[in-house]
Amino acid sequence: MKNIIHWTKRVILYGAVGIFCFFSASPFIWMVITMFKQDRDLYRSANNPFLYNLSPTLDHLRLLLVQTNFPVFLRNSVFIGVLVVLITLVISIPAAYSLARLAGRWGERAGIGIFLVYLVPPTLLFIPLSRVVVSLGLNNSLWSLVLVYPTITIPFSTWLLMGFFKSIPKDLEEAARVDGYSRLMSFIKVVMPLSISGVVAVTAFTFTLTLHEFVYALAFVTSSAQRTISVGVPTELVRGDVFYWQSLMAAAAIVAIPVGLIYNIFLDRLVAGFTMGAVKG
Amino acid sequence: MENHATQNRKWSGRFRYWTDREDILSSLFLFPAVIYIVALVGVPFLIAVAFSFTDVTAGNTSLNFTGLDNFRAILKTPQFSQSLKNTISFTIISQIIIIILANILALVLSMDFKGKWFARFLIMLPWATPIALGTIGWLWLLDSKFSPIDWTFRYLHLLGEPDALLGDTKNLFYLGRLELAKASIILIYVWRMLPLSAVILMAGLTSIPQDLLDQADVDGAGFWRILFQIKLPLILPIMSIAVLFSIIFTVGDMAVVYVLTRGGPVYYTQVLPTWAYYKGIESGALAEGAATALFLFPVLLAVAIFVLRFSRRTEVT
């Protein structure tokens, strides 16, 4: 009897896991199936869409990598991502340390304030920012995105790093100061080396946030050569009304799967950051 | 020589003094971040408010104060009121579904089972993927002619035959029919935000002290009793955080509607962000676009106040 109850529980558990996995993954499964299909196989509504009725092909992947601007979008996205990560780290590491350790009571308020900035959606600001971008002569250039993306990433990274710095015991710094280090040096020599894993997590998330961004990239950049993955793929790989579905799906899958892996590796760090406000107050 | 050394000591002493003063150091450290945010979030926000009271367009940048004319003009258009209604209803409906499913998913993920790492990877994918690309996947999944969902329905004889349950047309035309298009958009919002809400709730569940649960178990409380009387009340604060994130990302999103339906059929699935984009950027009516986007602000303000009060309450306890 106990055995039966145990097994029923397991079946329900695995059933639930299966349903959730299927719901989440179905567009991706469909992407991966589609990207290798021949046209004559894909565009016949009588064919079973889940099977390869004709042999799979790499033609559409080749088309994507050779004949479209996809490699350009990818390069632009990486270029923007790397620069934005650097700007973000340079600005948010000191800010986070300041809010975590130096600023005291007032710092906690400022910390919440910075976090609220992260909650201001780009859709509220893209119209005035488009004027700012034009007046700086950056319209239609990916530099406009390098300039603007840190407004999203700095608040987010500062918040994550703040939690990280708070988790490092104060005694370590105090011991360093007894040894004759100044406040600044104890931060550089003691706190930073201990924070490497936090910085790595923040780097990963900052980079993926820039990959995700859609609104600014759509509003500020119109020329194909300057577009990012997020906007280039849905607008440019769709020519007129003709969709190159296999290539489109390949483009989406190539980006989605590595980013998904990165997220899964650093997920715990992210969750800790998101929930810090509620758990620790 | 001696002079140089004292100079040096003096300088390093002063340097040390400055780098040792907490108040100075803390402002120095914080300064760049504050400047960046004030310049590129604070100022643009004020510009948005200013724009909405003027007649600025993309072509003509001279500002003439026009009072509430923009608001009067946009309130009159049916597209605007449709967008506002959609933003509100899409958000509310999707949040209700998300919070129910996220609680179940968080419970499931906090148990032990084989292949958990891979399951977590699959479940997190919708949140990890750039939403514009995820939506393309859905666009093809909901295709008017080649949707595999329709094929499955036809295979099960639920569609495409006389007297079939879902109708005798060969396809359901998800994005062409108003109700189905709206449901599809809500479905994608749920699909995208569910993973984040679930992992946040999971963090809440793991923070419940084990001895509390053990004690309840000893006292004879069953699974449901522990769930509804201990776990849920204890994760309520964290649940509100999950809802907050979910609302903000849903209200502020424009990629889903832009890629999936482009606001169609006609303009019936427009939301505030997409309508602001069409007005402000595509037709160049900056002032009206800015005024439209500003309607997002009251929602966000309410959310912000909630967070502030909430965080103050946790400070006290």
Q: Residue B133 and residue A24: Cβ atoms within 8 Å? A: no
DSSP B30: H
pLDDT band at A278 (very low <50, low <70, confident <90, very high): very low
CB B30 within 8 A of CB A95: yes
The pLDDT of residue A264 is 86
- Tell me the average pLDDT across A237-263: 84
Pick from B20, B57, B121, B11: nearest CA to B288: B57
Q: Residue A262 and residue B133: Cβ atoms within 8 Å? A: no
Residue B70, φ and ψ in degrees, nearest 5: -60, -45
The angle, 0 to 180 degrees and rounded to 10, between the axes of the packed helices B43-52 and A122-135 is 90
Nearest CB among A98, A218, A271 relative to B30 is that of: A98
The pLDDT of residue B5 is 55
Contacts of A131 in chain B (CB under 8 A): 47, 61, 286
The rounded percent of chain A whose pLDDT value lies above 70 is 94
Distance CA B231, CA B213 (A): 9
Q: Which residue has the tokens 């679930």?
A: B198
- β-pairing, A238-239 vs A242-243, is antiparallel
- Which run of H or of E encompasses B312? helix B297-316
Window 99-138 of A: residues touching B by CB (8 A cutoff) are 99, 102-103, 107-108, 110, 112, 114-117, 119-132
Residue A222, φ and ψ in degrees, nearest 5: -115, -20
Distance CA B302, CA B127 (A): 25
- Judged by a CB distance cut-off of 8 A, whether residue A271 touches chain B is yes
- Which run of H or of E encompasses B244? helix B232-251
pLDDT in tens, A211-223: 999 999 999 998 8
Instruction: Round to the nearest angstrom and report the end-to-end CA distance of chain B.
Output: 61
Distances in Å between the Cα of A140 and the Cα atoms of A19, A130, B242 are 44, 10, 36
* ipTM associated with this complex: 0.87
Q: Does the pLDDT of residue A281 top 80, yes or no?
A: no
Residue B172: both structure tokens together: 């359901």
Distance CA B191, CA B105 (A): 12
pLDDT band at A276 (very low <50, low <70, confident <90, very high): low
Distance CA B291, CA B294 (A): 5
Q: Residue B254 and residue A255: Cβ atoms within 8 Å? A: no
pLDDT along chain B (317 residues), means of 10: 56 65 80 89 89 80 78 88 93 94 93 89 91 93 89 86 79 88 96 92 84 87 86 82 85 92 88 91 86 85 72 47
The pLDDT of residue A280 is 44
Of B287 and A281, more confident: B287
Which residues on adjacent β-strands are paired with residue B54? Answer: B65
Contacts of A236 in chain B (CB under 8 A): none
Of A156 and B5, more confident: A156
Distance CA A137, CA A143 (A): 10
CB A35 within 8 A of CB A56: no
- Judged by a CB distance cut-off of 8 A, whether residue A42 touches chain B is yes
Least confident of A32-36, A240-244, B187-191, B274-278: A240-244
Contacts of B196 in chain A (CB under 8 A): 274
- Judged by a CB distance cut-off of 8 A, whether residue A63 touches chain B is no
Distance CA A92, CA A155 (A): 8
The length of chain B, given as a count of residues: 317
pLDDT band at A80 (very low <50, low <70, confident <90, very high): very high
What residue type is assigned to position B39 of the chain?
A
Q: Which residue of B has its CA nearest to A264?
A: B121
- Judged by a CB distance cut-off of 8 A, whether residue A26 touches chain B is yes
- Tell me the average pLDDT across A143-149: 94
Q: Which residue has the tokens 């160049």?
A: B284
Q: Residue A117 and residue B41: Cβ atoms within 8 Å? A: yes
Chain centre to alpha carbon of residue B12: 50
Q: Is omega for the bond preceding A234 within 30 degrees of 0, making it cis?
A: no
Q: What is the DSSP string of A225-241?
A: GG--HHHHHHHHSEETT
Contacts of B130 in chain A (CB under 8 A): 211-212, 214, 229-230, 255-256, 259
Residue A94: both structure tokens together: 């000191």
CB A100 within 8 A of CB A162: yes
The pLDDT of residue A81 is 95
- Which run of H or of E encompasses B202? helix B178-206
- Judged by a CB distance cut-off of 8 A, whether residue B295 touches chain A is no
What B67-75 contacts at long range (C-beta under 8 Å, 24+ apart), as own/partner pairs, is B70/B287, B70/B288, B70/B290, B70/B291, B71/B291, B73/B288, B74/B279, B74/B288, B74/B291, B74/B292
- Judged by a CB distance cut-off of 8 A, whether residue B141 touches chain A is yes
Neighbours of B6 (CB within 10 A): 10
Q: Does the pLDDT of residue A113 top 90, yes or no?
A: no
Distances in Å between the Cα of B28 and the Cα atoms of A91, A97, A108, B34, B39 are 11, 11, 17, 10, 17
Distance CA B291, CA B107 (A): 43
Give me the numbers of helices (H) and strands (E) for chain B, helices first please. 16, 0
Q: Residue A110 and residue B204: Cβ atoms within 8 Å? A: no
The pLDDT of residue A40 is 85
Report helix, strand or coil for A45. Answer: coil
Distance CA A207, CA A149 (A): 10
Largest pairwise CA distance in chain A = 78
Residue A196: both structure tokens together: 């490497």
- Judged by a CB distance cut-off of 8 A, whether residue B63 touches chain A is no
Q: Which residue has the tokens 């945010």?
A: B37
Q: Which residue of B has its CA nearest to A45?
A: B146
Distances in Å between the Cα of B262 and the Cα atoms of A229, A235, B84, B200 are 19, 12, 16, 32
The pLDDT of residue A144 is 94
